[in-house]
Chain A
Amino acid sequence: EDQVTQSPEALRLQEGESSSLNCSYTVSGLRGLFWYRQDPGKGPEFLFTLYSAGEEKEKERLKATLTKKESFLHITAPKPEDSATYLCAVQGGRDDKIIFGKGTRLHILP
């Protein structure tokens, strides 16, 4: 069964303390891996798409990387406004669906 597992479930960091969020997946024929940010009461906001192992994308303090089994979202010197839930999704498998993980709740303390 195609699965997406995100860890940790929740993460508290001090402002400026860099860290990484993990997204591991099992899907045959990966067509794309997506990262989203979701704020309370809002819909997910698209951040990155990664298509193949070794690919990296960057946006401000965020960098996403991809291997054959997992993706990392690296957060460098985070600020309180980076606090949100970060969602990972993969597309692939027999029916080509886009499957979401449960997310990592990130809280950056000032």
Chain B
Amino acid sequence: NAGVMQNPRHLVRRRGQEARLRCSPMKGHSHVYWYRQLPEEGLKFMVYLQKENIIDESGMPKERFSAEFPKEGPSILRIQQVVRGDSAAYFCASSRNGRDSPLHFGNGTRLTVT
């Protein structure tokens, strides 16, 4: 009865490197969301995807950030040329029926940019 799986749990990157964060949704879920959380801040929406489609990317920075959810395999959040301000916890969530059902979250990837 696996929940939402995210890896890695912790990721350290130097400025200018690329970060790849992976998310496997719960079994039977085809809707994936990515959120970002900073200390003392709420969860900030980044992007909503279904298999092979980006539904809403209005929360994603226009540059350096991209997301995909291929037909096979996990969803990937990719951050190119990371900067210190990208350091945060990134959470993935999945749902069965999109925006009409609750989100179930993974335990996040904590990205630290040095």
Decide whether A and B assemble into one complex.
yes
Which A residues contact B (CB, under 8 angstroms)? 4, 31-32, 34, 36, 41-46, 49, 87, 89, 91, 95-103
Binding site for A on B (CB under 8 A): 4, 6, 33, 35, 40-45, 56, 58, 91, 93, 99-100, 102-108
Complex Cα distance A100/B35, Å? Answer: 10
| B107 A43 Cβ-Cβ under 8 A | yes
Q: Do A41 and B107 touch (CB < 8 A)? A: yes
Could you say which residues of chain B place their CB within 8 Å of the CB of A102?
A: 40-42
A97→B41 contact, CB < 8 A: no
Identify the closest chain B residue to A88 (Cβ).
B42
Check A44/B42 contact, CB under 8 A, given A96-B99, A98-B103: no
CB-based contact A100/B43 at 8 Å: yes
Contacts of B108 in A (CB 8 A): 42-43
Chain A residues within 8 Å of B102, by CB: 32, 34, 46, 49
15 extra interface residue pairs, beta carbon distance < 8 Å, beyond A44-B105, A46-B104: A4-B42, A42-B107, A43-B91, A43-B105, A43-B108, A46-B103, A91-B99, A97-B58, A98-B33, A98-B99, A98-B103, A100-B35, A100-B44, A102-B41, A103-B42
Bound: A42/B91 CA distance, A:
9
Report chain B residues within 8 Å CB of A96: 99
Max chain A C-beta neighbours (<10 A), residue from B35, B91, B105: B105
CA of A75 to CA of B56, assembled, Å = 36
Question: Contacts A31-B99, A44-B91, A49-B102 hold; do A97 and B107 have CB atoms under 8 A apart?
Answer: no
